[in-house]
Amino acid sequence: MTSLNKILEKTYEKHSLTKSEIIELLNSDGKELYKYSDRVRQENVGDGVHLRGLIEFSNICKCSCKYCGLRSPNNRADRYRLEPDDIIKYAQNGVELGYKTVVLQSGEDNYYDTDKLCHIISEIKKNDIAITLSIGERTREEYQAFKDAGADRYLLRIETTDKELYKFLHPHMDFNNRVRCLKDIKDIGYEVGTGCLVGLPNQTIDSLADDILFFKSLGADMVGIGPFIPHPETPLKGELNPKNFDMALKVMAITRLILPDINIPATTAMETINPMGRIIALQSGANVVMPNILDSEYKVKYEIYPNKICLNEHSGKCRNCIEGKINSIGRYVSSTKGFHGEK
Ligand code: 5AD
Ligand code: FES
């Protein structure tokens, strides 16, 4: 047995890896790794794929993250903000399309204060549907209020655990506060989702291994991993590195090995840089897809990175398209809400 196979066999039994083992897997070509991560996915969460309807309700953001096209200094971004009643209507469309979860995502936009958000959440919650929030850093009191209003899950990527790189990417932010947010979210009783970007300038394999260990130590219920895609209106503009896809896929697959029953999306960013990206991800450990349910005019404007997929597709068409793709690889769309551990 090769040393790689030994590591994979051990993880398959124990669901644990040391940092040096993770590094060895990250330096491999991934072929053996994906066989194991797909098997671990199959045995622990089954063949169902959970669909989450994504509502990107505002692209206004007070942050200036160096990689993101929605950063506040980008005055070429065409900004929009949906009113609460419209957000509620889109969620209703999601219910009609058969989604069992809606994800409310936005830039860090203080227009949506606690009262507005609690109103939106409690109205949407009148349907039999799970609600995931992805609206950035807030106070513990706010997280508690959203939970009390009916929110079930919260997504907040750590982005990178390399503190120096974190400071460079987010000069206005504080790594410790981000960790504080994640801990509060977990403590309050949300299912917590985190994740990282892969392929950032000066990001090392060593720090990606730390990212994976961080997901485990946090006790993440969901982990979203995406390749970094340079946006021309940001300080990190430049050539896309196609290797980011393979590295992101490996980070995702290793995460599946050590967190065997969590929810892992095949991310939109993966499909943006590889036309088969989501299918490949679903066959390498992922079990979730998050199609957008907004109309084209908003999808086009929510330009975190360029060349996003499905910009001109109607939400009903995306829903059918993705189901077709899922069925074509012998998988099926799950009919449950898809909480952690629920098939
Ligand atoms: N390329 C890929 N992903 C990005 N994100 C932000 N900017 C980019 C980019 N240029 C990701 C971040 C954020 C999520 C909503 O989008 O990880 O958490
Ligand atoms: Fe949108 Fe295929 S998922 S068109």
134-138, 170-174, 180-184, 306-310: the lowest-pLDDT one: 306-310
pLDDT exceeds 90 at position 1: no
Cβ of residue 322 lying under 6 Å from some atom of ligand 2: yes
48-51 and 288-289 strand pairing: parallel
**Residue found by looking up tokens 């590195």 in the block:** 241
CA 324 to ligand 2 centroid distance, Å = 10
CA 152 to ligand 2 centroid distance, Å = 26
The pLDDT assigned to 150 comes to 98
Ligand 2 atom nearest residue 310's Cα: 1
**Residues 147-203 pLDDT 10s:** 999 999 999 999 999 999 999 999 999 999 999 999 999 999 999 999 999 999 999
Maximum C-alpha span of the chain:
60
Euclidean distance between CA atoms 57 and 40, whole angstroms: 35
Euclidean distance between CA atoms 47 and 58, whole angstroms: 34
User: Which DSSP string do the residues of 223-258 spell out, in sequence order?
Assistant: EEEEE----TTSTT-S---THHHHHHHHHHHHHHHH
The pLDDT assigned to 63 comes to 98
State if pTM tops 0.95: yes
Ligand 2 atom nearest residue 291's Cα: 3
pLDDT over 70 for what percent of the chain? 100
* Mean pLDDT, rounded, of the chain: 97
Indicate the pLDDT class of residue 48, thresholds 50, 70 and 90. very high
Task: State the ligand closest to the CA atom of 317.
Answer: 2
CA 307 to ligand 2 centroid distance, Å = 14
Question: Distance from CA of residue 101 to its chain's centroid?
Answer: 14
**Residues 262-300 pLDDT 10s:** 999 999 999 999 999 999 999 999 999 999 999 999 999
**Residues 328-340 pLDDT 10s:** 999 999 999 999 9
262 and 218 Cβ atoms separated by less than 8 Å: no
Ligand 1 atom nearest residue 68's Cα: 7
Residue 241's CB: how many other CB atoms inside 10 A? Answer: 15
Instruction: Give the residue ranges of DSSP H helices in the chain.
Output: 3-14, 19-27, 31-45, 84-96, 114-124, 140-149, 163-169, 175-188, 205-218, 243-258, 268-273, 277-282, 296-301, 315-328
Among 304, 305, 307, residue to substitute to test ligand 1 (most atoms within 8 Å of Cβ): 304
The pLDDT assigned to 330 comes to 98
Domains of the chain: 18-333 (3.20.20.70)
**Residues 77-98 pLDDT 10s:** 999 999 999 999 999 999 999 9
Euclidean distance between CA atoms 115 and 142, whole angstroms: 10
Selection from 65, 64, 61, 67 nearest residue 231 by Cα: 67
Cβ of residue 321 lying under 6 Å from some atom of ligand 2: yes
Euclidean distance between CA atoms 70 and 234, whole angstroms: 9
